């Protein structure tokens, strides 16, 4: 197991901890993914979410109709135009998710030490004695003593809205369980998770394929979150499916690791996927509590070294109903940043939580404080050692750009790119300053254009730590990408000045192509 042993940057003075945080145009390098739902789909709330720091919007198709999500997305587009902030779109599949169907939608009370039967007969009405499930093979998958969790929306760790069951016996297609804790379930659907048991359902279901080929294609989704990824073949099948849908050939696939099977095959999944989402809700059930921190550190270390985006979920569950996180949750967010997370994903907190905007703002502030004490020097040495020698041409340029930026205390790094790859490599070395990824388009574009060439690449950088995209237009579109165009560099520095991240006499490291050569140069802004 590779565990990232990063320490805090030293020395930290107690008096500096008590100083008020300084405001910045780029409030945090770590990105925030917000799940959109009933409490976060209006134009005003979405505008506030973008201003608070959300850069990726997650659409969870386990809940809500395509029409419902389309209305939300239309509001998001209006909000990006209003705030002049780009936002990427992530479609989250349902996958092989087990559900309890409550047609009557009445509250169901389960009492500890009692008995409840799980049945595949979905015609039955849910009650305190009987819970219909959407999987006929449950009885064949489980054995006596297995652990089953059932929760409203997601497992929050709050044992008043989720229940822990133990399989007592299997009767034909029914599973008889002992109730281990008292809980009340409310709503039409509850999620069911069987700890450490493989469920023989396809990772990409027919329903998922239908949603992707219709809704996903129509809206040209930036990311596909592949729920319950269990092996590398799952990612390959999903990519093959996307490649046949012309408009989604550029869509990046994030493997969502949710169970022990996904962890077991983590290395080969990481090789195939464009990024990883550690779904700690379900993982926290499959993995013993004392091992949770280990899989997080190990997985993030591997993602960092591979230069692939890592997203951590379930950090401030209590903010679903409260204005402040617990002390443990605040520490958890900071540790995710120190462990190397690119982004924090908020689920219930923004989907149905009472304080979606405040949650994003709070998480952003914690991320910003953690970034200030992130030991970049130690991390850089680890990354260089891992890559080894000889380095590839691009890797050498990227690491040199970050090293130069740190040495001269540059305010930002500007990287000219057409695909975004060079900028992502720079971000891999975790620079302590923003990286302005200047994507030179091949057609007229604006900061918030959802369809222009280059917009895909710009939005897809919004999940990577430290990357901030800027769309620029070459002087002559027929000549393609202008990697070394001084006029485009001026657009980038002017943007930095206008946004407040740059000021007179600041140093800037620029990574660009001149002819066939890649160059790292240091410039100092004049008055």
Pairwise CA distance, residues 297 & 65, whole Å: 36
Position 483 scores a pLDDT of 47
CA distances from 192 to 152, 181, 182, 189 (A): 9, 15, 16, 10
Pairwise CA distance, residues 494 & 411, whole Å: 14
E-only strand ranges, 20-173: 31-35, 54-60, 88-92, 98-101, 108-110, 115-119, 130-132, 147-152, 162-171
Let me know if residue 256 belongs to a domain.
yes
Let me know if residue 214 belongs to a domain.
yes
Whether residues 268 and 390 share a domain: the answer is no
Let me know if residue 394 belongs to a domain.
yes
Whether residues 320 and 266 share a domain: the answer is yes
Question: In a 3-state reduction of DSSP, which class is residue 313?
Answer: strand
Q: Look at residues 194, 210, 230 and tell me which one is the last residue of a structural domain.
A: 194
Q: Hunting for tokens 């550190």 — which residue is that? A: 297
Whether residues 231 and 274 share a domain: the answer is yes
| Max mean pLDDT range (284-288, 420-424, 473-477) | 420-424
Average of per-residue pLDDT across 163-175? 92
| pLDDT more than 70, % of the chain | 88
Q: Look at residues 146, 171, 194 and tell me which one is the last residue of a structural domain.
A: 194
Tokens representing residue 285 in the block: 């059930």
* 124: CATH: 2.40.33.10
- Residue predicted with more confidence, 443 or 516: 516
Tell me how many domains the chain contains: 3
Q: Look at residues 372, 398, 413 and tell me which one is the last residue of a structural domain.
A: 372
Let me know if residue 12 belongs to a domain.
no
- Residue predicted with more confidence, 161 or 380: 380
* 237: CATH: 3.20.20.60
Whether residues 231 and 265 share a domain: the answer is yes
* 517: CATH: 3.40.1380.20
- Residue predicted with more confidence, 525 or 68: 68
Let me know if residue 11 belongs to a domain.
no
Q: Going by C-beta distance under 8 Å and a sequence separation of 6 or more, which residues neighbour residue 179?
A: 110, 111, 112, 113, 114, 115, 116, 163, 165
Position 403 scores a pLDDT of 96
Whether residues 341 and 353 share a domain: the answer is yes
| pLDDT (tens digit per residue) in 76-103 | 999 999 999 999 999 999 888 888 888 8
Pairwise CA distance, residues 414 & 402, whole Å: 11
Peptide linkage before 121 cis (omega within 30 of 0): no
| pLDDT (tens digit per residue) in 125-163 | 999 999 999 888 899 989 999 988 888 654 445 445 788
Whether residues 382 and 520 share a domain: the answer is yes
Pairwise CA distance, residues 57 & 27, whole Å: 18
pLDDT band at 405 (very low <50, low <70, confident <90, very high): very high
Whether residues 75 and 223 share a domain: the answer is yes
Position 343 scores a pLDDT of 98
CA distances from 364 to 51, 188, 229 (A): 11, 33, 28
Let me know if residue 501 belongs to a domain.
yes
DSSP tag of 350: H
Contact 232, 259 (CB under 8 A): no
| pLDDT (tens digit per residue) in 203-251 | 999 999 999 999 999 999 999 999 999 999 999 999 999 999 978 989 9
- The boundaries of the domain holding residue 425 are 376-525
Average pLDDT, the chain: 87
Tokens representing residue 507 in the block: 């140093």
Average of per-residue pLDDT across 53-57? 96
């Amino acid at each position: 197991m590779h565990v990232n042993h990063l320490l805090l940057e030293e020395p930290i003075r107690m008096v500096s901890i008590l100083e008020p945080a300084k405001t910045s145009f780029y409030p945090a390098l770590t990105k925030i993914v917000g799940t959109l739902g009933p409490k976060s789909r209006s134009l005003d709330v979405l505008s506030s979410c973008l201003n608070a720091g959300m850069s990726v919007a997650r659409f969870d198709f386990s809940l809500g109709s395509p029409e419902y999500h389309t209305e939300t997305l239309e509001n998001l587009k209006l909000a990006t135009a209003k705030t002049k902030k780009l936002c990427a779109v992530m479609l989250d599949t349902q996958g092989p998710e087990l559900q309890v169907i409550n047609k009557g939608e009445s509250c169901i009370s389960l009492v500890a030490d009692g008995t409840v039967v799980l049945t595949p007969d979905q015609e039955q009405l849910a009650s305190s004695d009987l819970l219909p499930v959407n999987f006929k093979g449950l009885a064949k998958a489980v054995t006596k003593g297995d652990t089953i969790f059932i929760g409203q929306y997601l497992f929050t760790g709050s044992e008043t809205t989720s229940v822990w069951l133990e399989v007592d016996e299997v009767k034909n297609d029914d599973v008889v369980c002992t109730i281990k804790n008292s809980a009340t379930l409310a709503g039409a659907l509850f999620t069911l998770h069987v700890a450490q048991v493989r469920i023989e359902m396809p990772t990409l279901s027919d329903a998922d394929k239908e949603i992707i080929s219709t809704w996903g294609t129509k809206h040209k989704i930036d990311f596909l979150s592949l729920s319950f990824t269990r092996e590398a073949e799952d990612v390959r099948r999903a990519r093959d499916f996307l490649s046949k849908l012309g408009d989604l050939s550029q869509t990046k696939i994030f493997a969502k690791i949710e169970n022990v099977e996904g962890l077991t095959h983590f290395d080969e999944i990481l090789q195939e996927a464009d990024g990883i989402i550690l779904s700690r809700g379900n993982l926290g059930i499959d993995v013993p509590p004392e091992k949770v921190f280990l899989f997080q550190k190990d997985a993030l270390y591997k993602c960092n070294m591979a230069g692939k985006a890592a997203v951590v979920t379930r950090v401030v569950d209590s903010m679903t109903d409260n204005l402040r996180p617990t002390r443990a949750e605040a520490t958890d967010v900071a540790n995710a940043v120190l462990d190397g997370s690119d982004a924090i994903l908020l689920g219930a907190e923004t989907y149905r939580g009472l304080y979606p905007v405040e949650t994003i703002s709070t998480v952003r502030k914690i991320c910003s404080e953690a970034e200030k004490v992130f030991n970049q020097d130690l991390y850089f040495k680890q990354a260089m050692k891992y890559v080894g020698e000889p380095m590839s041409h691009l890797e050498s340029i990227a690491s040199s750009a970050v090293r130069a930026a740190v040495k001269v205390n540059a305010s930002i790094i500007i990287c000219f790119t057409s695909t975004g790859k060079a900028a992502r490599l720079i971000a891999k070395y975790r620079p302590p300053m923003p990286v302005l990824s200047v994507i030179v388009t091949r057609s007229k574009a604006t900061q918030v254009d959802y369809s222009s060439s280059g917009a895909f690449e710009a939005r897809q950088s919004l999940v990577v730590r430290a990357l901030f995209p800027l769309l620029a237009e070459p002087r002559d579109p027929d000549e393609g990408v202008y990697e070394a165009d001084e006029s485009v560099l001026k657009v980038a520095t002017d943007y930095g000045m206008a946004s407040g991240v740059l000021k007179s006499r600041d140093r800037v490291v620029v990574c660009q192509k001149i002819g066939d050569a890649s160059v790292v140069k240091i410039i100092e802004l004049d008055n």
